Amino acid sequence: MRINTVMAHKFLTLFSTFNATAIFGPYVSPGTEIATYGDTDFEDVVTARWSAWAEPTFQAAIKPATEIDLQNIVTIAANLSIPFLAVNTGHGTGLGYGNVANALNINLGNFNSVTVDADNNLLIAGGGVNFGDVFPVLYDAGKELQTGNSECVGLVGATIGGGIGALQGLHGLILDALVSVRIITASGSLVTASATENPDLFWAIRGAGANFGIITEATYTLHDQTNNGYVSLGEFVFPGSLNGSLWEILHTFDDYLPPNLALIISGGFNHTINSAYVTAGVIYFGPLAEAQAYFDQFIALGPVSQVVLNTTTLAMYDLLSATACTDGERHNDYTLGFNQTDVLTYTEVFGTWADFAAANPNYAGQLTFQRYSNEAMLQVPSNETSYPWRDIKTYLLLDNTYTDAALDTAVDDISKKIRSTLEATSGFGRLQVYVNYDHGDEGVKAKYGSSVERLQALKAKWDPHNLFGIPNPV
Ligand SMILES: Cc1cc2nc3c(=O)[nH]c(=O)nc-3n(C[C@H](O)[C@H](O)[C@H](O)COP(=O)(O)OP(=O)(O)OC[C@H]3O[C@@H](n4cnc5c(N)ncnc54)[C@H](O)[C@@H]3O)c2cc1C
Ligand SMILES: *[C@@H]1O[C@H](CO)[C@@H](O)[C@H](O)[C@H]1NC(C)=O
Ligand SMILES: *[C@@H]1O[C@H](CO)[C@@H](O)[C@H](O)[C@H]1NC(C)=O
Ligand SMILES: *[C@@H]1O[C@H](CO)[C@@H](O)[C@H](O)[C@H]1NC(C)=O
Ligand SMILES: *[C@@H]1O[C@H](CO)[C@@H](O)[C@H](O)[C@H]1NC(C)=O
Ligand SMILES: *[C@@H]1O[C@H](CO)[C@@H](O)[C@H](O)[C@H]1NC(C)=O
Ligand SMILES: *[C@@H]1O[C@H](CO)[C@@H](O)[C@H](O)[C@H]1NC(C)=O
């Protein structure tokens, strides 16, 4: 039964602490789990988190069983001014997550259905599904969707900030595949947003989605598999001394990257041998014979090790997820978007970064550049969605990984220096950041660009009391 605010009125007090079981229990179905921080079952109800850096704090967790439960939870929490955060896989990072304090964790884990309508090329996915849930279902149906690369990441969470990945050159951003969503808004209403229903909300959620409500279900357009579901994959490892040559190769793709090719070049530091290394991942959605010319450019540099495979996309995502999906370390990340590769600047910051890694034996970060084609996403008019940065070609992901919080300040200092050095020659002349990779200090213009004013107007309409989107406000 859907409640109204009058029924919640008897609890009206300003809660600094709240008894979640007493408040929500009477208005949710029996399948809904509720736990308070400190309860023995709290860890079962609250969602796990990927990063221990800038963590939200929760004093209670609730895992609704149905959409109506979720509507009632939002209605009551809003009425009682209880802060909340809907969480799926807990892979969101950024300073803003640390602003979620003493809140209610709304675990979306029960919204986990995945259905493929092969005849109509549609995927219907629950708001609590991750990429790993959809990969096998799509593969078995002979279909594909542009996704991110890691199985552990939430499909809807990635989508509503943009959604980038190896297939974006062929099919665009993940949000470009979105057909419609079922979304619970600040009033507790469950509405559909699509090109024809609530189109203003549909525009807003495609780029700043976490600010407008909780999506219980999303429908996406699918494609038939490219190359029958096989992909040519090259993974090459080089000593750090060759970094400049790798940036040179990346630079040759500044004007054009074939839509079915993706490059991931990543610096790492091996503390055992006290030296930096660079890996180049080459993903080509096509036969090996066509991919060979791209592999050869890297092989010519003399990698210390290499793997070249013709494999299924399913196996590829397994490989790409292997190390990325470990929970619990500090990930204090920085990002930046590029229109070009300035070889000298990349070489300079790689040196700065490697010196820092060498001086800090417990630092296990990676300096990664993801070059994805934006050919397909540029086919979509820029005002069609609120996502502002269709012109980004390369994404920096400076994934600072460590466990000791005492390293935070030093990491921030070196990372800000690296980011500002890179910004000067990024080809945009300003900070353009992908919101889902943000550090959190960049400001709204850097994350939402020219969409800021319209997003703020829509925020006033759909979520006037800022219930949603504490981590990345508009
Ligand atoms: C290891 C790793 C790999 C990644 N790889 C990629 C990648 O390849 N491509 C890419 O684009 N991004 C990638 N990301 C970034 C990722 O898109 C963001 O971290 C995203 O916010 C994760 O969403 P989540 O649901 O997994 O995380 P959560 O922390 O659960 O949620 C993140 C935000 O989205 C909101 N949210 C989640 N689900 C819903 C919903 N159903 N309705 C409304 N709001 C919701 C939450 O409230 C929160 O504000 C990666 C991140 C990590 C840590
Ligand atoms: C909570 O509900 C009561 C009763 O309907 C209403 O008077 C009050 O304005 C509501 N408060 C908020 C913050 O919505
Ligand atoms: C990066 O490459 C340049 C040459 O292009 C080299 O001088 C420098 O030492 C390399 N950096 C590291 C950390 O190995
Ligand atoms: C990005 O680079 C291309 C050339 O590759 C250029 O045509 C375009 O104007 C640049 N965009 C911006 C915003 O500077
Ligand atoms: C670091 O180098 C050692 C010695 O060559 C090697 O055994 C190990 O696998 C390397 N570690 C990484 C993460 O590359
Ligand atoms: C890739 O492997 C599959 C399955 O073994 C095979 O059918 C296909 O021909 C291979 N493609 C190439 C280009 O080798
Ligand atoms: C985008 O801009 C075009 C041309 O100015 C306009 O016709 C269209 O309605 C706009 N679309 C949206 C979704 O605002």
pLDDT tens by residue, 287-320: 999 999 999 999 999 999 999 999 999 999 999 9
- Cβ–ligand 5 distance for 113 under 6 Å, the answer no
Is the pLDDT at 11 greater than 90, yes or no? no
User: What's the distance, CA 245 to chain centroid?
Assistant: 30
Is the pLDDT at 10 greater than 60, yes or no? no
Q: What is the mean pLDDT of the chain?
A: 96
- Cβ–ligand 5 distance for 274 under 6 Å, the answer no
Are 122 and 46 contained in the same domain?
A: no
The domain of 158 spans 114-225+450-462
pLDDT of residue 3: 73
Ligand 7 nearest-atom number relative to CA 384: 13
Is the pLDDT at 14 greater than 50, yes or no? no
- Percentage of the chain beyond pLDDT 70 is 97
Q: Cα(382) to centroid of ligand 7, in Å?
A: 9
Q: Determine contact, residues 47/64, Cβ cutoff 8 Å.
A: no
Are 324 and 433 contained in the same domain?
A: yes
Closest CA to 48 of 128, 118, 117: 128
Give all strands (DSSP E) within 92-155, no chain letters: 103-107, 114-117, 122-126, 143-144
Q: Helix 452-462 vs helix 199-208: angle between axes, to the nearest 10 degrees?
A: 120
Are 235 and 294 contained in the same domain?
A: yes
Threshold 0.75, pTM exceeds: yes
Domain of residue 193, CATH code: 3.30.465.10
Ligand 1 nearest-atom number relative to CA 87: 30
- Cβ–ligand 5 distance for 270 under 6 Å, the answer yes
| Other C-beta atoms lying within 10 Å of the C-beta of residue 70 | 25
Q: Cα(244) to centroid of ligand 3, in Å?
A: 6
Q: What is the total count of domains within the chain?
A: 3
Instruction: List all residues 6 or more positions away from 409 whose beta carbon is below 8 Å from its beta carbon.
Output: none
Give all strands (DSSP E) within 257-402, no chain letters: 261-270, 275-284, 305-312, 330-338, 366-372, 394-402
pLDDT of residue 9: 43
Substitution candidate for ligand 4 out of 251, 252, 257, 339 with most atoms within 8 A of CB: 339
Ligand 3 nearest-atom number relative to CA 242: 2
| Atom 4, ligand 7: residue with shortest CA distance | 383
Tokens encoding 388? 């502002």
Substitution candidate for ligand 6 out of 233, 308, 310, 314 with most atoms within 8 A of CB: 310
| Atom 10, ligand 4: residue with shortest CA distance | 339
Q: What is the dihedral of CA 154, 221, 290, 242, to 10 degrees?
A: -30
Are 331 and 377 contained in the same domain?
A: yes
Is the pLDDT at 7 greater than 60, yes or no? no
Closest CA to 474 of 288, 173, 204: 204
- β-pairing, 58-63 with 330-338? unpaired
Are 64 and 167 contained in the same domain?
A: no
Domain membership of residue 467 (yes or no) is no
Are 129 and 61 contained in the same domain?
A: no
CA distance 76 to 22: 12
Domain membership of residue 473 (yes or no) is no
Place of tokens 């070609």: 393
The three-point CA angle 67-73-74 to 5° equals 90
Q: What are 206-261's pLDDT values in tens digits?
A: 999 999 999 999 999 999 999 999 999 999 999 999 999 999 999 999 999 999 99
Is the pLDDT at 16 greater than 90, yes or no? no
Are 235 and 261 contained in the same domain?
A: yes
Q: Cα(345) to centroid of ligand 1, in Å?
A: 30
Q: Cα(381) to centroid of ligand 7, in Å?
A: 8
Q: What are 116-149's pLDDT values in tens digits?
A: 999 999 999 999 999 999 999 999 999 999 999 9
Domain membership of residue 208 (yes or no) is yes
Three-class SS state of 198: coil
Are 78 and 118 contained in the same domain?
A: no
- Cβ–ligand 1 distance for 167 under 6 Å, the answer no
Lowest mean pLDDT among 13-17, 232-236, 376-380: 13-17
